[in-house]
Structure formats: C-alpha cells, structure tokens
Amino acid sequence: MSSQNTLPSYLNPLELGPWATYLEQVERVLPHLGRLSVWADTLRRPKRCLIVDVPIHMDDGTVRHFEGYRVQHNVSRGPGKGGVRYHPGVTLSEVMALAGWMTVKNAALNLPYGGAKGGIRVDPKQLSLSELERMTRRYTSEIGIIIGPDRDIPAPDVNTNERVMAWMMDTYSMNVGSTSPGVVTGKPLSLGGSLGRRDATGRGCFVVAREAMLRLGMEMKGARVALQGFGNVGNAAARVLHEQGARIVAIQDVAGTIYKPSGIDPHALGKFLAAGTGTLLDFPGIECISNDKFWEVECEILLPAALENQITAENAGRIRARLIVEGANGPTTPQAEDILLARGAIILPDVLANAGGVTVSYFEWVQNASSFFWTEADINARLDRALSEAFRAIWDLAQERRLPLRTAAFVIACTRVLEARELRGLYP
Ligand code: NAD
C-alpha cells in the first residue's frame, strides 16, 4: 500500500489496527478527489498526537500509572472534536483512526470542526468511583495544554458518560480560572448539556436507516434488527427503532448474545440492566445463542454499536441483513465491506450513521456559546434535518458515480477538508 511510505515513524506497520482500515478507506477515495489528491498526506498523518502519563493514588494507597492519548487529526475546518474512550484495548493507532474518522464525519455533516479523539488504556470497571474521578481529572489536566472550547472539544465515547464529562469540564475550568461549559459536550443538563444529546447517536442511526429504507422500498414496520452493543448508542437506537415499529430480534454485548424472534423490548431490557440484578443473558423470555451465531441471525437490519473490526472477512459471508447501519466507529473491515457489497448489501457508513451524536454535540456547543437553550423538539427536528440532508447528498453522489456509500461520504468530506487545507495554505 503506498500509504506505508508515509506512515509516521512512531507507528509499527504490523500493529496498525484500525488505523490500517482508515488508511485503506483513504486510499479508496483518492482517485475521486481530482487535483485535491495532492494533499492526501494531510489525511494520512494526524496533525498532533499527545501521549500522557496519568498517575493516580489508588484507594489502597498505592500509585498506578495509566497511558492516555489525545490525537488531533485535522483542524483545517475548525477546532478538534471527538470523544474520549476508556478501554483496556486503547492504543495510539486506535485513537488515531477514531480521530481520522471524526475529521471525515464532521466534514460529511458540514460541522465547523476538525477531527480529534482521546482515550485512556484502562479497564474502568476495575476502578472505584473516586479512582475514576482522579484518573479523569489528571488526564484532563495533562491534555489541558491542547484542549479548549476553541481548540479541541472532547465528548463521551465507550465507557465514558455525562459524569465523566462533568469532571472534565470542572477540571479544565478550575485550571483556566473560569467556568467553561463549552470545553466538552455530552455534559449533564444542569451543567449546560443539551436536551436530546443522550439519545442523539442512536436516534441518528434510525434517521439514516429510515432514509435508506424509503429509497430501497423496505418497510420499517416489522423490520427485524440484530444489534451488537447495548450502551449509549445501541440502547437509544433500539428504543427509537422499536418505537417506530421495528423488531429487535437479537442483541449482543460483552456478556453474550440473546435472541427472541418475536422481538425484545429495549425499554424493559434497559430497566432490567439498570437494576443491576443480572446481565443481558439473565433477561426473562429470551434464548441465549453463541456469539458466533449472532452474525447469522435472519434480519433486515444489522446494527453494530460496540467496537471496531467486528464485521470481518470471517463472518461477513454469513450476514443476512440487507442494510448494515454502522452505529459503532470502524466496525467493518475493508475486506468484509467488499464481501458485503458484492452480495448487494447496503452499508450506511459510520461517518454518516453515527454522526447524530456529534451533530447534537455541535448544538450543545452553540447553545453554550450563546447561553441560550433550545427545546428538545427543536433539537430533534434539527438533527433529523441535518442527517437527512447529509444522507441525501451522499446517496445521490453514490448513485451518480456508482460508488459505495462510504466512498461517496469520504468524497464529500475529504473534498471539504482538503479545500480548506489548500485555501489556508502552509504556514510559514
Ligand atoms: P458504551 O460504552 O456506552 O457501550 C458499548 C457497548 O458495547 C456495551 O453494551 C458493551 O457491552 C458492548 N461491547 C463492548 N465490547 C463488546 C464486544 N467485544 N462484543 C460485543 N459487545 C461489546 O459505548 P457507546 O458510547 O455506545 O459507543 C459504542 C460505539 O459507538 C463505539 O464504536 C463508539 O466510538 C461509537 N460512537 C459513540 C458515540 C456516542 O455518542 N457515545 C457517537 C458516535 C459513535
């Protein structure tokens, strides 16, 4: 792959992980960018990667060190924007890929942001609440030198939530000496969070699925959905799809996979899990199936909403769904995508399908800047409009140029990013 020649020296080509998927997606768009492709290395190289040591006192009096990252992939179109992930599998190359996808996503939606992402290599379930708070605050202080409401704005991602955002906002505010709500999004409502933000990513998955189904002549009522991940994204997507008449027939999370052909009620499942009396597998009235069988479940919609690299060359051939809605970032490898496209499946790519979260994060940031707050109905209507319009532009380009939807989304987004790059020029 030609991009190997331009790999930053700090990455081992054998351990590229999701960054390899991102690079391959970039390679696929370059032939469609015309003269702007001379700027391709802008996409292949993150602008800035910060690796920080995060030492904290544990409750037992010992000191532990965690590895933290903040990557600003591109800031040509505005401040960096992207979530923070707490997971034992976090690596620099993963955070780079997630930051690269944020650049593309924000540009695909025409949000005035670049792309960024952060993470800590930690299993947060092993930490007490006060350890989690100390780790979050130390990490925020360490990355404080590059974040800010006009520089780079973090948000929740896997294993982070409103509470973590509140600690981040408070730590940054204490360090700069004034309350700065706009430094993070996905905050609690009482700290300047936005109505509609909690469900925004999942709601967005529904909006793009609805738009695709309209064009494909598929019925939402009774459509069967197989869902991987029942966290922030999966839970909200399941509830909205269920309310609109779809049937959630299978759900997989870290605990395992459940199946119920007549449909799982996501509201009841959410309440059951929140009660803390059992895992997904203990939910009444379901059948437990193997994680591997999940991929073969008969369904119209497959909605991966967990982690990267879940749909691979190994399982893609067994997937039955006509529509794949990428709630997660990077769930499909390029090889798996080729297999799915060859049999006529439609993949709604992550940079569109899960863009509802960052779109409402943008609304939150705008509300913070003006200290004027909108109604939930207004936010949901604006979200629906933003995603429907982005969908239409991507769909129409894909039809016109006979491109996969991901490549079409990358064409629109990368054109915007590279035009900005070219117009700004190189300084000095
Ligand atoms: P979350 O931590 O709230 O939930 C993650 C879910 O995935 C949990 O249900 C967990 O059990 C499940 N999971 C984890 N590992 C798994 C595995 N190996 N197999 C099956 N299930 C597994 O995270 P989230 O915020 O819902 O994020 C999920 C995905 O959506 C990530 O790819 C994230 O980057 C992406 N995303 C999130 C947002 C957001 O607003 N939170 C926005 C855009 C994209």
Distances (CA, A) of 363 to 41, 103, 115, 342: 31, 18, 17, 38
Residue 260 bears catalytic tag: no
Q: What's the pLDDT band for 424 if we cut at 50, 70, 90?
A: very high
Minimum CA distance residue for ligand 1 atom 27: 158
pLDDT of residue 11: 84
* Ligand 1 midpoint to CA 418 (Å): 30
Is residue 67 included in any domain, yes or no? Answer: yes
pLDDT in tens, 337-363: 999 999 999 999 999 999 999 999 999
Q: Does the Cβ of 354 fall within 6 Å of ligand 1?
A: yes
In ligand 1, the atom with minimum distance to the C-alpha of 350 is: 44
Return mean pLDDT, the chain: 97
**Residue carrying structure tokens 């809605």:** 325
173 and 320 housed in the same domain: no
8 A C-beta contact, residue 244 and residue 206: yes
* Ligand 1 midpoint to CA 38 (Å): 35
* Ligand 1 midpoint to CA 27 (Å): 27
pLDDT of residue 12: 81
Distances (CA, A) of 385 to 211, 266, 306, 376: 11, 26, 26, 14
175 and 211 housed in the same domain: no
pLDDT in tens, 118-160: 999 999 999 999 999 999 999 999 999 999 999 999 999 999 9
CB atoms within 10 A of CB 126: 9
Q: What's the pLDDT band for 194 if we cut at 50, 70, 90?
A: very high
213 and 265 housed in the same domain: yes
Minimum CA distance residue for ligand 1 atom 40: 357
77 and 44 housed in the same domain: yes
pTM of the model: 0.97
Rg over CA atoms, the chain: 21
Mean pLDDT calculated for residue range 368-396:
98
In this predicted structure, the answer to whether residue 403 has a pLDDT above a threshold of 90 is yes
In this predicted structure, the answer to whether residue 4 has a pLDDT above a threshold of 60 is no
Could you write out the DSSP letters of every residue in 41-66? HHHHS-SEEEEEEEEEE-TTS-EEEE
Is residue 407 included in any domain, yes or no? Answer: no
Tally the domains of the chain. 2
Residue type, position 106, single letter: N
pLDDT of residue 9: 83
Q: Does the Cβ of 26 fall within 6 Å of ligand 1?
A: no
236 and 96 housed in the same domain: no
Is residue 187 included in any domain, yes or no? Answer: no
CB atoms within 10 A of CB 123: 11
Q: Which of 47, 81, 105, 117 is catalytic?
A: 117
pLDDT of residue 15: 78
Please state, in angstroms and rounded to a whole number, the distance separating the CA atoms of residues 129 and 191.
20
pLDDT of residue 3: 47
Q: Which of 157, 160, 145, 118 is nearest to 357 (CA)?
A: 157
Q: Does the Cβ of 331 fall within 6 Å of ligand 1?
A: no
215 and 175 housed in the same domain: no
Is residue 369 included in any domain, yes or no? Answer: no
In this predicted structure, the answer to whether residue 1 has a pLDDT above a threshold of 60 is no
**Residue carrying structure tokens 């409401």:** 149
In ligand 1, the atom with minimum distance to the C-alpha of 354 is: 43
Q: Looking at the DSSP assignment, which residues form a beta bridge with residue 154?
A: 82
Domain range enclosing 172: 3-181
Q: What are phi and psi of 73, to 5 degrees?
A: -75, -45
Q: Which of 112, 86, 80 is nearest to 99 (CA)?
A: 80
Q: Does the Cβ of 231 fall within 6 Å of ligand 1?
A: yes
pLDDT in tens, 272-288: 999 999 999 999 999 99
Q: Which of 3, 93, 79, 19 is nearest to 420 (CA)?
A: 79
Is residue 191 included in any domain, yes or no? Answer: no
pLDDT in tens, 103-117: 999 999 999 999 999
Mean pLDDT calculated for residue range 243-252:
98
142 and 176 housed in the same domain: yes
In this predicted structure, the answer to whether residue 2 has a pLDDT above a threshold of 80 is no
Distances (CA, A) of 167 to 36, 137, 139, 156, 422: 41, 6, 11, 12, 38
89 and 167 housed in the same domain: yes
121 and 233 housed in the same domain: no
pLDDT of residue 290: 98
3-state secondary structure of 400: helix
144 and 213 housed in the same domain: no
Q: Does the Cβ of 333 fall within 6 Å of ligand 1?
A: no
Is residue 383 included in any domain, yes or no? Answer: no
Secondary structure tally for the chain: helices H, strands E: 13, 12
Is residue 419 included in any domain, yes or no? Answer: no
Burial class (CB in 10 A: 0-12, 13-18, 19+), 289: middle
Pocket test for ligand 1, best of 201, 239, 308 (most atoms within 8 A of CB): 201
What would the two tokens of residue 2 be?
Answer: 């030609």
In ligand 1, the atom with minimum distance to the C-alpha of 160 is: 2
Question: Which of 318, 353, 388 corresponds to the end of one domain?
Answer: 353
What would the two tokens of residue 167 be?
Answer: 């600690």
pLDDT in tens, 12-54: 877 788 999 999 999 999 999 999 999 999 999 999 999 999 9
* Ligand 1 midpoint to CA 29 (Å): 27
175 and 85 housed in the same domain: yes
CATH of the domain at 226: 3.40.50.720
Q: Does the Cβ of 229 fall within 6 Å of ligand 1?
A: yes
Question: Which of 353, 381, 404 corresponds to the end of one domain?
Answer: 353
Is residue 392 included in any domain, yes or no? Answer: no
pLDDT of residue 270: 98
Sequence-distant (≥ 6) Cβ neighbours of residue 135 within 8 angstroms:
54, 56, 66, 120, 122, 127
153 and 252 housed in the same domain: no
CATH of the domain at 71: 3.40.50.10860
In this predicted structure, the answer to whether residue 254 has a pLDDT above a threshold of 80 is yes
Q: Does the Cβ of 182 fall within 6 Å of ligand 1?
A: no
Q: Which of 201, 105, 117 is nearest to 412 (CA)?
A: 105
Q: What are phi and psi of 228, to 5 degrees?
A: -110, 120
Question: Which of 181, 215, 244 corresponds to the end of one domain?
Answer: 181
